[in-house]
Structure 1
Amino acid sequence: MKGIMVLGTSSDVGKSLIATGLCRMLVNEGVKTAPFKSQNMSNNSYVTKDGKEIGRAQGIQAEAAKVDATVWMNPILLKPRSDMHAEIVLLGRAEQVVSGKNYRSQFYEKGLAVIQKSLDYLAEKYDVIVMEGAGSPVEINLKSRELVNMKVAEMADIPVVLVADIDRGGVFASIVGTLALLSPSERNRVKGIIINKFRGDPDLFVDGITWLEENTKLPVLGVLPYIENHMIDGEDSLSFQEKRPSSVKDSLDIAVVKLPFISNYSDMEPFYFEEDVSIRFVETGDDFGHPDAVIIPGTKSTIHDLSKIKETGLARKIQVFYQEGGTIMGLCGGFQMLCRELLDPFGADTGIQGNKADGLNIIPASTFFHQKKRTTRVKGNYFSATGIVGELVEGYEIHLGDTMVQADEKTVPFLSLSNGKEDGCYSNNGKVIGTYLHHLFHNDEWRSIWLNRLRKEKGYPLKETVFIQEMKDKRFDLLADKMKRHLNWEKLQKIMFEGMSK
């Protein structure tokens, strides 16, 4: 197998972004490339064309590699449900909810088997595999039964590059310390170092490169600059930042509720491409301010997170905002929170059979949680408040619950789906929308309509539609070009294609 594994000295050093750039660099040179991460822990997922669920980072990397994402690119996805438990998504399908202790003791051999099966499949289909590790490869308490770092590099028998984040400080200690904690055979697999997130003049780091190469006996393959606003979404909430226009007059203020178990926050990604839109997180009532719109995103634990926003006073602020005619969007779990009541007869959401909770009582609906999760790509036309069918939108659903809306003179379904079913709720002439459709705002024309309505209400100039898919693809090329200028690309390619033979 030809390939490379991108490991980091810690979380959020830029492994996902570098792997994404490598995928685009390789495919631009005609190399059939697949991304791979054996085990992801993230609630930010990606639905493949066949309706399976994988980590979002590998879905994005597949887009960069110009291939369809498949479950073989991320065979194990762990979706946190609480501080102690996570849902195991195995080859794209939810399997069970387990504690961290039980996962390590009961799942290890099964995990190794599915990882090997995935590696074998990808090796047959692709020329090169760009693998990504997780966190640090030398967490001593986890290392003996890990399923994502050096063990997987050994299974694939590919070389490793170690990435360190210089922006956070301590770069020399993090590199030397990581290498020192590897076993001799693991240390032999590391073939180079990449310094990431460098600010300023790279000539000022020449002595640092010399020191690292002399003391680690490894080549520094590149010093990558800090890339501002790359707009390529990552796999976890550490990579999702607020966005506030610095100099744009008449900007819209959109408040996004920051839920403890927020999921699929990539639903907000398109707003990064709108120059007059500000995105800020709100966690308590004190944070709320005076937004132009509120978005309640998805969550892996709806009733738990609903309880949390009630405790912090945020729920009451949202209710008052609604009563004063504010614009509210509820996505998936956020849609469920807008209901009158939430019922969990099987304990699928909370782990407590028969549990129930009062919702925000903003839409006339009830949510029932079922045992089987729904994951599928969907298309549909949206309704207006008068029932007129509008443009086609598409996205995907990932949810346990079903929501029953009691239609009245103010409330109609939001979407007429291509499968003949209806989705969501469109209320108060569009002031309130609830839907199970993730990726809704990635539909450029619909997003433009929604934002222009807000602009009109504020007396701001209307804007032309921003078509982000073309912009995203250009950003993959820009990322690849920028990385290539700062990497020893020839040497890195040689490491990938020669493998462990040298």
Structure 2
Amino acid sequence: MKGVMLQGTSSDVGKSLITTALCRIFQEWGYKTAPFKSQNMSNNSYVTMDGKEIGRAQGVQAEAAGVEATVFMNPILLKPKSDQQSDIIFFGESVDHADGREYRDNYYEKGLEAIEKSLAYLNQHFDIVIMEGAGSPVEINLKSKELVNMKVAELADVPVILIADIDRGGVFASIVGTLQLLSEDERKRVKGIIINKFRGDISLFEDGIQWIEEQTGVKVVGVLPYLQNHGIESEDSLSLQTVFQQNDSKPLEIGIVRLPYVSNYTDMEPFLEEDDVRIRWISSPAEFGNPDAIILPGTRSTIQDLQHLQGIGLDRMISEYASSGGTIVGICDGYQMLGEALVDVSGLDTGKPTYSIKGLGHLPITTEFHVKKKTIRSTGTLHPDSGFAPIPVEGYEIHVGVTQVPENVTPLILQASGTEGISLNNGSIIGTYFHHIFHNDVFRNEWLNRIRIKKGLSPKAVVPLANYRMEKYKELATHVSENLDMNYIRKLVLGESME
């Protein structure tokens, strides 16, 4: 197989971002390129054209490569639903939920089979494959049954490039320590090192590069400067705070309720490209403040997170905000929480069949949780009575809840098959299962302009996010190309001689 695998000295060193960049670079060079991550642990999901669920990062990387995402790019997805258990998704469909030990004991061989099947498919349908590891390849307690790093590189028989994050400190120790903990055969597979997130004058690091190469015998293929505001959707939960950490004051402030098991937080990332909008997490009543709008995002454990809000008193703050005419949007599980009641019919969410709990009570709906999950890409037009212009919208749905909506309630979206969501008080309170509803530029613009006008501000023009995203892929590719030895990497990927 022609390709390369990017592994890291730890999580959040930039593997996903650099994988995205290489996918774009090789696409620009004319190669049909596929991203690949054998096993992803993330609550950020992507729905493929055939209604399957994979990690969001591989969907983004496929977009950067100009190809349609497929389950073979991420055959195993683990979605944490508590500190102990995760949903196990194989080839885009949920097959079980288990704790870490159960998963290791029962799914290792099945995982190997899924990975080998995926690699065979990608090898047949693509010119090259840019692979991404997870965490560190030397988690000693997990290494005997790992499905994400060196075992995958061995199955694919591809070289490995090790990425280290200099911004967090200890870069020399992390590189040398990682290489020393690898077996001799594994060390031989490592053909390059990338130093990521460098701040300052790179020429001052020349001695550092020389030391690393002398001590490890591995070429440093480049030092990547810290890239601010790269505009590429994030994957790792460690990047959550960084992505939405905006300390500057802006005319509009949107508060996102920080749920313990928040998922698909890329729903909010389009607001980062609106120059007058500040995003702020709300984790407690003391942090509530006076936002211009509130978003309740999705979560992997709806009832548990609702209980969390009720336990710390954030439910009362949200109710007071709604009563005072505040603007609220609930997306997916946040939509469910805004209802009158939630019933765990199957016991899937709580482990207690028929368990019920009162919702926040702002929407006249009841949601029941069953075993079957709905994953689908969806389209429609904003309902003529929703308070918004009849704007075409698209998104995707990933949920197990079935929500009962009274017929006399105004829908948000009109679809060919019926209606979806709710819009109350001329759009002041919205509930919808459409993830990425705010990625629809015209709708996002109208929704924001209503808030702007309400606050006495002038409306603004539409920010074309789709065009922006394509430009960001190009900028990322240029950034990486200019700072890495791409001739060396190209030869690695294509299996050409280094002489």
Aligned position for 2:192: 192
Structure 1 window deviating more from structure 2 (380-389 vs 229-238): it is: 380-389
Aligned position for 2:476: 479
Offset of 1:177 from its aligned partner?
A: 0.4
Aligned position for 1:237: 237
| Amino acid in structure 2 at the alignment position of 1:36 | F
Distance 1:237 1:451 in 2: 27
User: Any conservation in 2 of the 1:176–1:216 contact (CA below 8 Å)?
Assistant: yes
Offset of 1:392 from its aligned partner?
A: 1.1
1:404 matches 2:404: yes
Distance 1:232 1:492 in 2: 22
User: Any conservation in 1 of the 2:386–2:424 contact (CA below 8 Å)?
Assistant: no
User: Any conservation in 1 of the 2:381–2:413 contact (CA below 8 Å)?
Assistant: yes
CA deviations on 1:430-459 (whole Å, 9 max, x unpaired) are: 110000000100000000000000000001
Alignment of 1:427-466 (within 5 A): 427-466=424-463
Aligned position for 1:415: 413
Alignment of 1:139-178 (within 5 A): 139-178=139-178
Distance 2:218 2:462 in 1: 49
Secondary structure of the residue aligned to 1:390 is coil
Distance 1:401 1:119 in 2: 34
**Structure 2 unaligned regions, length at least 5:** none
1:470 matches 2:472: no
**Structure 1 unaligned regions, length at least 5:** none
Change over 3 Å in CA distance of 1:500–1:7 after alignment to 2:
farther
Offset of 1:242 from its aligned partner?
A: 1.4
Offset of 1:230 from its aligned partner?
A: 0.4
Offset of 1:247 from its aligned partner?
A: 6.8
Q: TM-score, normalised by structure 2?
A: 0.97
| Amino acid in structure 2 at the alignment position of 1:175 | I
Distance 1:281 1:500 in 2: 51
User: Any conservation in 1 of the 2:491–2:497 contact (CA below 8 Å)?
Assistant: no
Aligned position for 1:82: 82
Aligned position for 1:35: 35
Aligned position for 2:97: 97
Structure 1 window deviating more from structure 2 (196-205 vs 399-408): it is: 399-408
Offset of 1:405 from its aligned partner?
A: 2.0
Aligned position for 1:127: 127
Distance 1:422 1:238 in 2: 37
User: Any conservation in 2 of the 1:244–1:277 contact (CA below 8 Å)?
Assistant: no
Q: TM-score, normalised by structure 1?
A: 0.97
| Amino acid in structure 2 at the alignment position of 1:74 | N
CA deviations on 1:181-220 (whole Å, 9 max, x unpaired) are: 0000000000010000000110010000010010001110
Distance 1:213 1:101 in 2: 38
Change over 3 Å in CA distance of 1:247–1:434 after alignment to 2:
closer
Secondary structure of the residue aligned to 2:168 is coil
Distance 1:461 1:243 in 2: 26
User: Any conservation in 2 of the 1:165–1:197 contact (CA below 8 Å)?
Assistant: yes
Percent of aligned pairs sharing the same letter? 55
User: Any conservation in 1 of the 2:224–2:480 contact (CA below 8 Å)?
Assistant: yes
Secondary structure of the residue aligned to 1:395 is strand
Aligned position for 2:423: 426
Offset of 1:243 from its aligned partner?
A: 4.8
User: Any conservation in 2 of the 1:243–1:272 contact (CA below 8 Å)?
Assistant: no
Offset of 1:359 from its aligned partner?
A: 0.3
Offset of 1:500 from its aligned partner?
A: 9.8
Alignment of 1:11-90 (within 5 A): 11-90=11-90
Offset of 1:244 from its aligned partner?
A: 3.1
| Amino acid in structure 1 at the alignment position of 2:483 | H
Aligned length: 497
Distance 1:383 1:244 in 2: 34
Distance 1:193 1:383 in 2: 53
User: Any conservation in 2 of the 1:346–1:354 contact (CA below 8 Å)?
Assistant: yes
Offset of 1:313 from its aligned partner?
A: 1.5
Change over 3 Å in CA distance of 1:343–1:2 after alignment to 2:
same
User: Any conservation in 2 of the 1:283–1:312 contact (CA below 8 Å)?
Assistant: no
Change over 3 Å in CA distance of 1:334–1:193 after alignment to 2:
same
Aligned position for 1:497: 494
